[in-house]
Amino acid sequence: MILGLSYIIATYNRIAFLKVTLEKLLAQLQPDEEIVVVDGESNDGSKEYLQALFDKGRIHQFVSEPDKNQAHAWNKAMLLARGTIIKKIIDDDVFCYKAIRECKNHMLLNPEVDVVISNDLGVSLEHYKNINRQGRLAQFEEWKNGTKPSFTFGDVHMLVRRSSLAFIGLYNTGFVMMDWEYSLRISYLNANIAYYTGYNALNVAHPQTVTASRDNNLIEEQGKRGCVFYEYPGDASEISLWSKIKIMGGKLVKPVSKHDGQLNYGPVEDMAAKYDYLYNYIAEVNNAQPFMFLKKN
């Protein structure tokens, strides 16, 4: 059977988030879809949890080994994917699988489309009811009309055609803000991007968010380099809007050690309740009105 979609996950020592995310994904999985998980050799129980799911055939591909960095892990997952379309699932974010499936079907019906992106939502887990609606539609329109040669978007709501990787490439392992560089590269290469006006993802910020602990000086230096290379004039920031939200959200709450496998959000069931609220929210947003696909041409 030809696989229509590969969901890819890269994770390390975040079992509480991973269990919530995989529970939701497994409940929505369709016969022509697979789940690929790359674990950075976690020591918090994630490795054993994932191995058990793999042994039961609930996840389809599983690797647990050290990674050189975050981009390296995601690249391994993309290379393992067998589906026509690849969707990145970040273990601490929220997804609308109905909207993802609409994006998947659009790409399957339109083989010329390399990438689909959508509007997105953002929130801090500590203040989980203060949800912001975001989008890059204005930037997409400027790029589509030839006003700007490149623009940024977050990969949390991106779907990629696997065969298009030969053209757009993998993540640049030399960039800290890998989604920022990747989006600029994809648009600068004039890949065929379609824009879905619905919301297929909601990004959640918290102290363990990778972006929350990054080196601002390094981000600024890489941002300047990327702006020159991709002729990107910027739009009030040298990092993507999604990454700004992640950094902002990470600063709203007390930081924790990156080696700390425990979360300080109270009982696990409290966190699950917050995620249930967020999953219901994005579903309601997408059910409230019809959305459309805006094509490059």
**CB distance 96 to 283 below 8 Å:** yes
Residue 176: predicted pLDDT: 85
Q: How confident is the model over 228-254, as a mean pLDDT? A: 52
Q: How confident is the model over 150-168, as a mean pLDDT? A: 96
Q: Kindly indicate the confidence band of residue 209, based on its pLDDT and cuts at 50, 70 and 90.
A: low
Q: Which of 74-78, 84-88, 130-134 comes out lowest in average pLDDT? A: 130-134
Residue 262 predicted with pLDDT over 70? no
Structure tokens at 111: 């083989």
Q: What DSSP element (H or E) covers 6?
A: strand 5-11
List 160's β-bridge partners, or say none: 86, 115
Three-state DSSP state, 21: helix
Mean pLDDT score of the chain: 87
CATH architecture of 5-294: Alpha-Beta Complex (3.90)
pLDDT tens digits for range 33-79: 999 999 999 999 999 999 999 999 999 999 999 999 999 999 999 99
pTM for this entry:
0.88
Q: Kindly indicate the confidence band of residue 232, based on its pLDDT and cuts at 50, 70 and 90.
A: confident
For residues 209 and 202, what is the distance between their CA atoms, to the nearest angstrom? 14
Instruction: Tell how strand 193-205 and strand 293-294 pair up.
Output: antiparallel
- Rg of the chain on CA atoms, in Å: 18
Q: Kindly indicate the confidence band of residue 268, based on its pLDDT and cuts at 50, 70 and 90.
A: low
Which phi and psi (to 5°) does residue 8 adopt? -115, 140
Q: How confident is the model over 81-104, as a mean pLDDT? A: 98
Amino acid at 82: R
Q: Kindly indicate the confidence band of residue 249, based on its pLDDT and cuts at 50, 70 and 90.
A: very low
For residues 263 and 43, what is the distance between their CA atoms, to the nearest angstrom? 15
Higher pLDDT, 174 or 163: 163
Find all residues with CB under 8 Å of 29, minimum gap 6, and list them: 7, 35
